[in-house]
Amino acid sequence: MGDDSASIDRDFSAYLNDPLGYARDVLGILPTPDQSQIAPAILCPPYRVLVKSGHSIGKTFLAAWLVNWWYDTRKPGVAITTAPTKRDVVDLLWTEVRLQRQRAKLPLPFDFIGPAAPEMRTGDDHYAKGYTASKGESFQGRHRARMLFVFDEAEGVSANYWQTAETMFHPNGDHAFFAILNPTTTTSQSFIEERAVGADGLRKWQVFTVSSLSHPNIAVGLENEGRIARGELPLPVPIPNAVSVEQVRTWLGDWFERIAADSHAATDIEFPPGSGQWWRPGPLGEARVLGRRPSAGTYGVWSEALWSMAVKNDDRSPHRMNEFPELGCDVARFGDDWTETHSRWGNVSLDHEAVNGWDEVRVATRLKDVVAELAALANKDRPKTLPAVTAKQIKMKVDDTGCGGGVVSILRADKYNVIPVNSSETAKDSDKYEKVRHELWFSTVERAKSGRLSLAALNARKSGVVARLESQALAPIWWPDSKGRRSVEPKDDTKKKIGRSPDGMDAMNLAYYEGRSGGLVVAVAGGGR
């Protein structure tokens, strides 16, 4: 057990790269399978771990364990924690830090600077300290060789804390960054961080999603229901005070909708597993039980679960001989906007490019090169008995507003199969949407819902690109207009949220848009609804 004497000076450096061994041998605790997978991840590139979790799975326990491990194994070394409120910092996280040290299997020094202070310290180069985000307490400027940053309840930590930590963090293996949260919104800084991409084009964070249903208490609790029904003694619960089957059943009643077994979607859950009882999560069920960003009820155009389904959908079905690749291009209008191109073949996204500052001639020239590459791809396994596909047969759907009109004119003059798309036109399905722009967004979403959108191949080659597209996809909201039709927020509103225009998703929407029979109308005009 722990010792309240600061004279204890054990050497725990053997656990420098072994948080699991420290938990087992020093703290005397047994992590859950999810926790055992997450903890060592902060020692691996990119040395940033973000955990989205359901309720009662041991979020604060995990954060406190990492603080204690870092403090005891690194001298010098610094651990900095923050959370939204004093209660989160002092009463929850740092109370757990103290409890773990008191209950430890091996004696640990009690280096706290006061009876309730969120700080341990032996010197200026060896300490752990908690800061309350809502008070504006600053840890800026505290640069040390070995630093751990822990953001507990990170959904409520404001952008300036993330940005300050980023200026101090060095992804060299001596620093680590750990954030854990219930993902209740799509407007928080944690939402932006989750999808952030570094200068190397790779995701900045290793992201874990932990459902309350995966906790070992649930499997044991369900087994105990059967044992009790058979008159047998129940098994001990692995982790008392963590999530229970009884809690889950309450949550299902409050935050989920019971649905017919033959109407369930990939985003629904079966509980108990194998029971044939299917449940559809509402926003709170997604966030607080399944560890997913909410969709329904918040009017998000895309949901996190649906995007994940498209990324995992590894569609390798053969293409029909008369089905050629296509591309969509959203042409930048000014300054900090990007010209982006998305190509696909059937249901499968092939590639995505983004450039800035190109004029109409250069964009048109690049599009000619891209369709030549797509034609070559279409001909690669095409039977020699069939006519070869030419570049001018490849369909290009191009934003026809602003600079896009010039690109369309150049391509048309050279007899390319270019289809101008104008987002301000009346939608093809005018009963559901007022403008083509709204139809563009939702037609891609509907493809994904029906399993006809595959981002797996693109993600395997360009995961950073797919991460940026995800950030753009999940940002916009929609609302019903006076006629009950779906309207997507103006493009400029989305730009304010994520710091850049969603040009990438505009290009992807164009690539998958089926348009009108015998003609077209569409694209993605800047600020229109």
Backbone dihedral region for residue 117 (phi beyond 0: left; psi -120 to 50: alpha; all else: beta)? beta
Q: Could you tell me if residue 54 is inside a domain?
A: yes
- The pLDDT tens digits of the residues spanning 268-286 come to 999 999 999 999 998 889 9
d(CA 56, CA 365): 56
Write down the H helix ranges in 39-158. Answer: 59-73, 86, 94-102
Instruction: DSSP letter for 318, please.
Output: P
Question: Burial, 387: exposed, middle or buried (Cβ in 10 Å; 0-12, 13-18, 19+)?
Answer: exposed
- For residue 460, CA distances in Å to 98, 311, 351 come to 43, 9, 11
Residues 6 or more apart whose CB falls under 8 angstroms from that of 523 comprise 330, 397, 398, 399, 400, 401, 404, 420, 421, 422, 423, 436, 437, 440, 506, 510
Paired sense of beta strands 175-181 and 256-259, if any: unpaired
Q: Could you tell me if residue 506 is inside a domain?
A: yes
Query: So what's the pLDDT on residue 334?
Result: 66
Please give the residue range of the domain that contains residue 177.
13-210
Whole-angstrom distance between the N-terminal and C-terminal Cα of the chain? 63
Please give the radius of gyration of the chain, using alpha carbons only, rounded to the nearest integer. 27
Q: Judge if 117 and 33 occupy the same domain.
A: yes
d(CA 475, CA 301): 8
To the nearest 10°, the Cα dihedral for 529, 294, 87, 134? -20
Query: So what's the pLDDT on residue 19?
Result: 98
Q: Judge if 337 and 413 occupy the same domain.
A: yes
Q: Which of 248, 156, 205 is nearest to 42 (CA)?
A: 205
d(CA 420, CA 407): 9
Q: How many CB atoms lie within 10 A of CB 153?
A: 24
Q: Judge if 241 and 353 occupy the same domain.
A: no
Tokens representing 1 are: 């057990």
Domains in the chain: how many in total? 3
Query: So what's the pLDDT on residue 141?
Result: 60
Contact criterion met (CB below 8 Å) for 448 and 402: no
Query: 463-474 and 503-512 helices cross at what angle (nearest 10)?
Result: 90
Q: Judge if 205 and 221 occupy the same domain.
A: no
pTM of the model: 0.75
Q: Could you tell me if residue 526 is inside a domain?
A: no
d(CA 403, CA 400): 8
Q: How confident is the model at residue 142 (pLDDT cuts 50, 70, 90)?
A: low
β strands within 432-506, DSSP E: 478-480, 486-488
Query: So what's the pLDDT on residue 528?
Result: 35
SS (H, E, C) 125-148: CEEEEEEEHHHCCCCCCCCCCCEE
Q: Judge if 235 and 190 occupy the same domain.
A: no
To the nearest 10°, the Cα dihedral for 88, 89, 93, 96? -110
Query: So what's the pLDDT on residue 9?
Result: 67
Q: Judge if 260 and 354 occupy the same domain.
A: no
CATH of the domain at 384: 3.30.420.240
Sheet of 395-399, strands arranged across: 348-355, 339-345, 326-330, 395-399, 418-421
Query: So what's the pLDDT on residue 527?
Result: 35
Low-confidence winner among 36-45, 168-177, 471-480 (lowest mean pLDDT): 471-480
Query: So what's the pLDDT on residue 144?
Result: 77
Q: Could you tell me if residue 57 is inside a domain?
A: yes
Q: How confident is the model at residue 259 (pLDDT cuts 50, 70, 90)?
A: very high
Q: Find the mean pLDDT for residues 498-521.
A: 79
Query: So what's the pLDDT on residue 140?
Result: 66
Q: Could you tell me if residue 376 is inside a domain?
A: yes
Q: Judge if 50 and 163 occupy the same domain.
A: yes
Q: Could you tell me if residue 122 is inside a domain?
A: yes
Q: How confident is the model at residue 518 (pLDDT cuts 50, 70, 90)?
A: very low
d(CA 89, CA 108): 21
Q: Find the mean pLDDT for residues 171-189.
A: 91
Contact criterion met (CB below 8 Å) for 282 and 257: yes
Q: Judge if 163 and 230 occupy the same domain.
A: no
Tokens representing 306 are: 């649906």
Q: Judge if 142 and 220 occupy the same domain.
A: no
Judge whether residue 522 has pLDDT over 70.
no
Q: Judge if 223 and 107 occupy the same domain.
A: no
Q: Judge if 274 and 144 occupy the same domain.
A: no
- The pLDDT tens digits of the residues spanning 72-106 come to 999 999 999 999 999 999 999 999 999 999 999 99
Q: Find the mean pLDDT for residues 284-298.
A: 81
Contact criterion met (CB below 8 Å) for 423 and 522: yes
Q: Could you tell me if residue 311 is inside a domain?
A: no
CATH of the domain at 182: 3.40.50.300
Backbone dihedral region for residue 472 (phi beyond 0: left; psi -120 to 50: alpha; all else: beta)? alpha
Q: How many CB atoms lie within 10 A of CB 114?
A: 7
Q: Judge if 443 and 471 occupy the same domain.
A: yes
Report which of residues 70 and 426 the model is more confident about. 70
Question: Burial, 414: exposed, middle or buried (Cβ in 10 Å; 0-12, 13-18, 19+)?
Answer: exposed
Portion of the chain with pLDDT greater than 70, in percent: 92
Q: Tell me which of 145, 175, 210 is where a domain ends.
A: 210
What is the SS3 assignment for 508? helix
Query: So what's the pLDDT on residue 188?
Result: 87
d(CA 90, CA 117): 7
Q: Could you tell me if residue 390 is inside a domain?
A: yes
Judge whether residue 7 has pLDDT over 80.
no
Q: Which residue has the tokens 């040395």?
A: 47
Query: So what's the pLDDT on residue 322?
Result: 86
Judge whether residue 524 has pLDDT over 50.
no
Q: Which residue has the tokens 């299997």?
A: 105
Mean pLDDT, the chain, rounded, equals: 90
Sheet of 147-151, strands arranged across: 119-123, 126-132, 77-83, 147-151, 175-181, 48-53, 206-210
Contact criterion met (CB below 8 Å) for 180 and 62: yes
> What are the counts of helices (DSSP H) followed by strands (DSSP E) for the chain?
18, 17
d(CA 388, CA 404): 29
Question: Burial, 75: exposed, middle or buried (Cβ in 10 Å; 0-12, 13-18, 19+)?
Answer: middle
Q: How confident is the model at residue 526 (pLDDT cuts 50, 70, 90)?
A: very low
